[in-house]
């Protein structure tokens, strides 16, 4: 297994992928920015990046809607989960700015909601490298 720091540091520069997936795993500020910026170079021609995270509007329901560090919570989990880690919240606009800065464009956005309707709990970004930057 390779860590995000190793990926950013070039440990997998000789590897290409058809799809890179991050499922609720991008939780810090600067590390996430560095990682997202290096992902396009790891894609094979025609490759895509899929990122699923907590929906920004779901998290910002009771607090100001701005990017920044938030306290973690294990609410709803068994008692064994007692020390939640802080995580970096991004607004939708800040996610889009990060993707643009990385040379990615949003190909598709999905907002999965609970069965029967309701507010979306997560957001899924499907991204592709910009052809003008990466020649794909």
Q: Determine, yes or no, domain membership for 1.
A: no
Q: Determine, yes or no, domain membership for 136.
A: no
Residue 3 three-state SS: coil
pLDDT tens track for 50-81: 999 988 887 777 788 899 988 776 665 666 66
Tokens encoding 66: 């701005």
Q: Which CATH number belongs to the domain containing residue 97 in this structure?
A: 3.40.50.150
Helix (H) or strand (E) holding 98: helix 92-101
Compute CA distances 70 → 45, 66, 67, 124, whole Å.
37, 11, 9, 21
pLDDT at 114 over 90: no
| pTM > 0.75 | yes
Residue 41's domain comprises 14-129
- Rounded Cα distance between 39 and 84, Å, is 28
pLDDT of residue 136: 56
């Amino acid at each position: 297994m390779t860590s995000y720091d190793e990926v950013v540091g070039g440990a997998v520069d000789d590897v290409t992928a058809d799809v890179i997936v991050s499922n609720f795993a991008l939780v810090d500020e600067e590390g996430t920015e560095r990682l997202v910026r290096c992902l396009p170079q790891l894609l094979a021609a025609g490759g895509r990046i899929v990122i699923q995270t907590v929906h920004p509007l779901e998290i910002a329901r009771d607090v100001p809607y701005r990017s920044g560090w938030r306290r973690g919570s294990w609410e709803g989990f068994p008692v064994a989960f007692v020390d939640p880690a802080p995580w970096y919240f991004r607004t939708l606009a800040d996610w889009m700015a990060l993707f643009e800065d990385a040379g990615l464009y949003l190909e598709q956005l999905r907002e999965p909601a609970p069965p029967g309707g309701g507010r979306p709990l997560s957001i899924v970004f499907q991204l592709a490298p910009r052809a003008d930057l990466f020649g794909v």
